Chain A
Amino acid sequence: MKKLNIKTIVLYFVLTMCSLITISSAQDTKDDIKLRMKDRFAQISELKQSGKIGETPSGFAEAVSKESAQDEKISTLLTAENNDRKLLYALIATESQTSVQEVGMGNAKRYFQKASASDYFKTQAGEWKQKKDMMP
């Protein structure tokens, strides 16, 4: 009986430690994403301002023109940005008990509200339009 108790205690201890490690690593991941996105923010903003990239309804950044899409620097930056957004949306979706798509759409809405009139947004039909042309 004593052995069983010790085993149970050890099992609970291991489980608690595992859950603590999982929680702390998830937090680290969110902080890491934030740091990377913060570093990228100036470049992303500059590209948005110059009309080379825009936001999609699903909450991801995309090249507006073919020329921009073919630019290696831009495509590398967009891949890194969208990978981090994917991770972030998944984390928030788990925390809020909702879907990744829902979080992405929420972020797209947030970007639209904060954008300047000249920023580009992709419509549901797949067309690129400036914010000023989308306003009623």
Chain B
Amino acid sequence: MKCIIPIIAVGIVLALTGCWTITVKHQVEPIYITMNVNVKVEKQLNDFFDFEDQGQGGSGSTKSIPHDKTPKQ
């Protein structure tokens, strides 16, 4: 009979510790999933629009900026 009370106390402590672990996991997973999707979308868009970097048309958002603006002597 004396042994039952400590066993119950240990059981309660273990149960509470288990609950805390589950709470932490639920907070972390959605962030990881959102980041993974964003990276995936970003990669797919970059792969699709690779022609923009190849200077098709050479104007607008990928227009070339003259680099040597130093005056000729």
Tell me, yes or no, whether A32 is within 8 Å of chain B by CB: no
Asked whether A135 is an interface residue with its Cβ less than 8 Å from the other chain, the reply is: no
Q: Which residue of A lies closest to B50 (CB)?
A: A34
Min CB distance B26 to A, Å, is 20
Q: Does A49 contact B (CB under 8 A)?
A: yes
Cα of A27 to Cα of B51 in the assembled complex, Å: 17
Interface string of A84-127 (1 = CB under 8 A from B): 00001000100111100011001100110011100100000000
Known contacts A34-B51, A42-B56, A106-B38, A115 near B45 by CB under 8 Å: no
A88–B57 CB distance below 8 A: no
Give the residues in chain B near A12, CB-CB below 8 Å.
none
Interface residues of B (CB under 8 A from A): 37-38, 40-42, 44-46, 48-49, 51-52, 56-63, 65
- A residues contacting B by CB (< 8 A) are 30, 34, 37-38, 41-49, 88, 92, 95-98, 102-103, 106-107, 110-111, 114-116, 119
